[in-house]
Copies of this chain bind each other. A is one copy, B any other.
């Protein structure tokens, strides 16, 4: 918030540029699942009380099972993966960090703000796995630096590729709740790593970092394997459907089942055309041709088909 860096999700800015009411817009500028995990009933205590250790323990246990976190490795819950990304550069002694790009720009920004040099061959390396925006998958061969950040924010659509088994001293894996479970407003993310590094991360976040709502809903969602499996199947089908719609307009560069990256003739013109129809897409300051689209919800397909 109040950041100058380029991100998706700026519906307010889109309203200012292309008009319309907020409820008219279909926001395809992020990689957030448009069919969220059903929030259901939340206890009064989740709203009113300081988040309790028992609720956190249930969430962490659910996360450990869901992501098959290895023994001896700890999990820290945070108010969004962004809070962890902002804190990571302070966990390690200053050095040089390699952030192979193009990728999600908060990693480099956070290390730079923390006084790190940016470039290959240094003490630390960040890989976004699968990568945003092109969906590139990495293997364990990419874990070349003594300090590794493996950002698996979009890996829950492809859990077989997870590198969580590599988490340990100097290797921190990040997980995001908001994207796959479609509750980005709730703010919940996780770091998985060695106990000593996780203790320092916890100290940087302070006590009661995660809301009682996120503890309760997050635990319920991570325990719900059937929802996750059905969601993976739906997202895969919807990604294929979007590729079908876009086939006439561009070439698929890559992506995940939460967002697709296409090469089009003129990305800015394409974004403008969609924007005038109140469909928000994502383009990138470093490319004239890349257009990224998230998936519409069930009620959005007809509009999108009419526009494309």
Interface residues of A (CB under 8 A from B): 1-3, 5, 7-13, 22, 27, 30, 32, 34, 36, 39, 45-54, 56, 77, 79-80, 82-87, 90, 106, 110, 113, 178, 182-187, 202-214
Closest Cβ–Cβ distance, residue A222 to chain B (whole Å): 17
Q: Contacts A79-B211, A211-B79 given: A206-B49 contact, CB under 8 Å?
A: no
Q: Is A186 touching B206 in the complex (CB atoms < 8 A)?
A: no
Q: How far is the CA of A87 from the CA of B86 in the complex (A)?
A: 11
Q: How far is the CA of A76 from the CA of B205 in the complex (A)?
A: 16
A156 to B289, CA, bound (A): 53
Q: How far, in angstroms, from A214 to B90 measured CA to CA in the complex?
A: 27
Q: Contact between B207 and A50 (Cβ–Cβ < 8 Å)?
A: no
Max chain B C-beta neighbours (<10 A), residue from A46, A49, A85, A186: A49
**Complex contact B182–A208 (CB within 8 A):** no
Cross-chain contact of A51 among B1, B27, B77 (Cβ < 8 A): B1
Taking CB atoms, residues of chain B closer than 8 Å to A56 are 1-2
CB distance from A226 to the nearest CB of B (A): 21
Contact of A185 among B11, B87, B211 (CB under 8 A): B211
Q: Which residue of B lies closest to A181 (CB)?
A: B48
- Bound-state Cα–Cα, A77 to B187, Å: 14
Bound complex: CA A81 to CA B52 (Å): 17
Q: How many chain copies? A: 2
Across the interface, do B83 and A49 meet the contact criterion of CB distance under 8 Å? no
Contact of B207 with A1 in the complex, beta carbons under 8 Å: yes
Q: Are A83 and B32 in contact (CB under 8 A)?
A: no
The reply to whether A79 and B82 contact each other, CB–CB distance below 8 Å, is no
Cβ–Cβ contact A213 & B184, under 8 A = no
Establish whether residues A53 and B10, one from each chain, have CB atoms under 8 Å apart when the complex forms.
yes
Which residues of the other chain, B, contact A184 by a CB distance below 8 angstroms? 48-51, 208, 212
Q: Report whether A207 and B3 are in contact in the complex, using a CB–CB cutoff of 8 Å.
A: yes
Contact of A53 among B12, B51, B211 (CB under 8 A): B12
A106 CA to B50 CA in the complex, in Å? 15
| Residue in B36, B52, B209, B213 whose CB lies within 8 Å of A11 | B52
Contact B211 A187 (CB under 8 A): yes
Do the beta carbons of B212 and A86 come within 8 Å of each other?
no
Residue of B nearest to A211 (CB): B187
Residues of B within 8 A of A213 (CB): 185-186, 211, 213
What are the nearest 5 A-B pairs in CB distance? A185-B212, A86-B206, A9-B50, A12-B54, A82-B206
Partner of A32, one of B7, B49, B207, B214: B49
B residues less than 8 Å from A208 (CB atoms): 1, 80, 82, 184, 187
Q: Is A83 within 8 A of B211, CB to CB?
A: no
Tell which of A32, A77, A82 has the most Cβ of chain B within 10 Å. A82
B183 engages A210 (CB within 8 Å): no
